[in-house]
Structure 1
């Protein structure tokens, strides 16, 4: 029985809403395990569902998530018979036993967001895993509030480290250097991690000695505003519910732009790396990521570099981290800009690197129809759904070429600031 499925057929939300829903398209978010569907009842009551007319539930088993179901809410409850019928359509994933439990260090990088960090850290501390340490990297903070909060917990598993230089990549590198675990799992301060998150990561690394990165599912923890609904549809972080193993030498037939189609690999809110492998690569590129002129792209860059170095990347949807998307239109607009510029900066980096540019350009030319289709699809997902257009700020969609151009300029600006692409490289 899942921790979020209560007796009396009551289901808790993944994240209690910070405020009531602001429009009639808001969706209540929760999860249910298949053993709860065997209960002899007609309805399941949803906690804190006031103001919601629709619910989205992630249906789960011990082997992994089966899929999402969307249901109408009537009098604060959903129809269990309808839920059973929808869940029965999902194929069951094959169980993969965890053969080892490596020491894992969880790194959360944060900056002056104690209220959000509390929710994220509470969920990490509740994870069911035997060998874990937790490092909070306080990045260029204006106050000591984060340090005081972490130290007041008096949890021997949790420690806080200061990184005075702004930038997410710098903060990730600081956490990486301080980690004692062989595996370092990164997440953000605006998430709720699943209790089985680290067990799923360990399972991913147990798939083979060549695995250097494991990523997973990042569903929306909250869809109470149009901004959150738009961002969730645009990024598609919870679209894939099957395990994938990516290797540079074995291009998958269904990803013609591999290895440059980095959207398939995961996202920075939920990934774990082999610490030694990342140190050999010189760490995260300081010219990429939040807090730098590029605003993002450091996670995509690391996925790509680990693959190029010969490591395998495992995407396992059983590794679940629920993400709280920006709720306001202002936050969405800022996030959309940095999202596009960060991706453009990574593309610019690849295109200007003599080691990767030839393959990048040849892939684009040889796979021209697929490349055009990809650009068309990206443009279509950037457009708000018709029912959201009048509720969102203008200018959310930016042509791909403009994002690449802006990213190129931003990456150059970051390098001029003295940000090191290989800050942890050992001198020859």
Structure 2
């Protein structure tokens, strides 16, 4: 691997409401097989204004074998926090993750090796979702996918449908990311607003600009999901946020049809699932159907709002531009 002045990899983590988990993440990074002098951690404090900064308190009088920098981003939102960290990063590569993620010791080195060998823009690893406290609702595959990808390739594969990367386990070339644009701040989690798709849109936009992303299933992190995130209320809110964000994705990328599923047939199947779930006391099926109805309704409402604002999907905008140039 070629010599790079300063850190080779900047690990960027944005924290809001989960600052107490940051020291444990840094402890896990200290156990990485990648030499400490080749990495830095950029921690972005995205908590609301307060006299006492939770991250500063959590990291007080602690030391790690790599540089740790703490920045403040006043604009709430996961994308805003990550973008702040990426802009300040000094590494050739940026790895993004979350405070409660626990990477295996070979995580960073495995991502880097795949990046160097395959010469791609980004590499996403495998995220293993764990449920330490059990589940309130017995989770179907669809409900589990609300917490992250379930299906992973056995070997390296390009990140195209049906596979996708997760934003807590992703390494990419910093300069290329700056060139194509960072994470959209109207997507992704923002306080209690359960947006998402910021990582999916980022990777899709890069691919549609000619920059490939690889999945390396050997680069593993674990992601704990707790009982409050396995309830009916959670899944309905998650479905609504997901529907809004998929509608917004149309403004910058061409969205896979399989990621939409909001036509009449999808609505019909959701109502059948809801009725069958309650009739046969199949709570999991009923929750899945309720989440689907929330997702489809939010998607359609957001589509209508965007049309009223004159914001056209990218495919339509491209088609209109082509016609006007002829």
TM tier, smaller: 0.7 to 0.9
Aligned to 2:41: 134
Matched residues in 2 for 1:133 and 1:379: separation? 47
Q: Is the 8 A contact 1:218 1:237 kept in 2?
A: yes
Q: Is the 8 A contact 1:217 1:238 kept in 2?
A: no
TM-score in terms of structure 2 length:
0.73
Shift of the alpha carbon at 1:375?
Answer: 5.8
Shift of the alpha carbon at 1:137?
Answer: 0.6
Q: Is the 8 A contact 2:92 2:174 kept in 1?
A: yes
Aligned to 2:323: none
Matched residues in 1 for 2:220 and 2:198: separation? 21
Greater length-normalized contact order (CA 8 Å, ≥ 6 residues apart): 2
Q: Which has the larger radius of gyration?
A: 1
Stretch moving more, 230-239 or 183-192: 230-239
The count of corresponding residues between Structure 1 and Structure 2 is: 289
Matched residues in 2 for 1:228 and 1:160: separation? 38
1:271 to 170, 174, 178: 170
Q: Is the 8 A contact 1:197 1:321 kept in 2?
A: yes
Mapping for residues 169-248 of structure 1, pairs under 5 Å = 169-209=79-119, 211-227=120-136, 230=139, 231-232=143-144, 235=147, 237-246=149-158
Please list every run of 5 or more consecutive structure 1 residues that lacks an aligned counterpart in the other structure. Answer: 1-98, 248-258, 417-428
Matched residues in 1 for 2:48 and 2:291: separation? 32
Bigger share in helix = 2
1:327 to 227, 231, 244: 227
Q: 1:221 to 1:100 in 2, by over 3 A?
A: farther
Q: 1:194 to 1:219 in 2, by over 3 A?
A: same
CA displacement 1:8-60 (0-9 Å, x = unmatched): xxxxxxxxxxxxxxxxxxxxxxxxxxxxxxxxxxxxxxxxxxxxxxxxxxxxx
Matched residues in 1 for 2:113 and 2:67: separation? 22
Runs of 4+ in 1 over 6 A off after TM superposition: 392-395, 409-412
Matched residues in 2 for 1:319 and 1:389: separation? 35
2:209 is the counterpart of 1:309? yes
Shift of the alpha carbon at 1:246?
Answer: 2.6
Mapping for residues 371-410 of structure 1, pairs under 5 Å = 389=283, 396-399=290-293, 400-405=295-300, 407-408=302-303
Q: 1:406 to 1:321 in 2, by over 3 A?
A: farther
Bigger share in strand = 1
Q: 1:406 to 1:190 in 2, by over 3 A?
A: farther
SS in 2 for 1:160: strand
Shift of the alpha carbon at 1:202?
Answer: 0.4
Q: Is the 8 A contact 2:270 2:289 kept in 1?
A: no
Q: 1:278 to 1:287 in 2, by over 3 A?
A: same
Shift of the alpha carbon at 1:335?
Answer: 4.5
Matched residues in 2 for 1:137 and 1:228: separation? 33
- Two-structure CA RMSD over aligned residues (Å): 4.0
TM-score in terms of structure 1 length:
0.57
Aligned to 1:37: none
Matched residues in 1 for 2:32 and 2:305: separation? 38
Matched residues in 1 for 2:78 and 2:127: separation? 19
